[in-house]
Amino acid sequence: MTEKEMPYAGIPTFLKAPQALRPTRAAADVAVVGVPFDGGTTARSGARMGPRALREASTAWTYRNGLEPYYDGEARVQLLGSTRWVDCGDVALGPMPTPERYHNTVVARLLPLLAAGLFPVTLGGDHSIVYPVLKAVSQARHGEPFHLVQFDTHMDYWNDENGQRFTHASPIVRAHEAGWLSGLTQYGIRGLHTAADGIALARKRGARTFWCEPAKDTRAEELVDHLPVGGDVYITFDIDVLDPSIAPGTGTPEPGGFSYYEAKTILLAVCARCNVIGMDLVEVAPQYDGPGQVTALHGARLILDTVGAAFRRRAELG
């Protein structure tokens, strides 16, 4: 009898998927790429270790046989049946790159995967990685705009931080200014804000911001009914949108926040309404987590939930 490798054994790629630097659409559906960079943080560093922690946490769900679907009894759905994953490793970034070099390196790594038609899942890293990720998505679409759905404590709409325009406080405003987005929706925003947060500017530019506490008391269908039915949507998920009681391992935590179920419900509603074209999950800093690494655990599970729902919707749209 051949022994099956247990989840805790072997090389911990994401979901223990095969490794490939340049996969093709014939070989895979989902491409996972890590961007271990936290040079854009304005508070606690540590998110450079996020990709490794998320990969390790994902191995908890590698007990299935082959590509059989998982069954989520709470959502009453099957997910990820026949969905082929590949782990493309990390973007190679040295210390202290200039913003231009940093952005170009990320774009160059992602463009071949997007051009191949793979669904990108990018693991951060701090939220500054999302600017070059969205740049790559825009270039792969030849400039066709898409709607951005952001789960976050912070709006990330600061113009600059001490003159720096590409920190983790500014990826959303920079992407909006670049003209890549057809719309912007933000879920879970909370905390104490100042004029520098750009709330009025984001609103003026058409952003739909759903503050955390009211959103928790609103039906998911109402939270997504403005999104384009069947329209292309990219999801950026900052782990600090979750309550720090379940996700303490992050650089800029804030009291309050979504539970796992609240975040999952909105994510599934977005996926059920739209055509999700990719996602990232950022700001996991395992150094601030407990021994159970619950922050990475929640992050990895929400990736599986989202990708499963996105591919279920793709099958419906044909």
pLDDT digits over 99-154, tens only? 899 999 999 999 999 999 999 999 999 999 999 999 999 999 999 999 999 999 99
Per residue, what are the HEC states of the chain? CCCCCCCCCCCCCHHHCCECCCCCCCCCCEEEEEECCCCCCCCCCCHHHHHHHHHHHHHHHCCCCCCCCEEECCCCEEECCCCCEEEEEECCCCCCCCHHHHHHHHHHHHHHHHHCCCEEEEEECCHHHHHHHHHHHHHHCCCCCEEEEEECCCCCCCCCECCECCCCCCHHHHHHHHCCEEEEEEEEECCCCCHHHCHHHHHHCCCEEEEHHHHHCCCHHHHHCCCCCCCEEEEEEEHHHECCCCCCCCCCCCCCCECHHHHHHHHHHHHHHCEEEEEEEECCCHHHCCCCCHHHHHHHHHHHHHHHHHHHHHHHHC
**Half-sphere exposure in the Cβ direction for 64 (13 Å, CA):** 17
Confidence of residue 161 (pLDDT cuts 50, 70, 90): confident
- Position 232 pLDDT exceeds 50: yes
Mean pLDDT of the chain: 94
> Taking the mean position of all CA atoms in its chain, how far away is CA 23?
21
Q: Name the residue type at position 265.
A: T
Question: Within 13 Å and on the Cβ side, how many CA atoms surround 112?
Answer: 11
**pTM summary value:** 0.96
| The CATH number of domain 14-317 is 3.30.420.140 | no
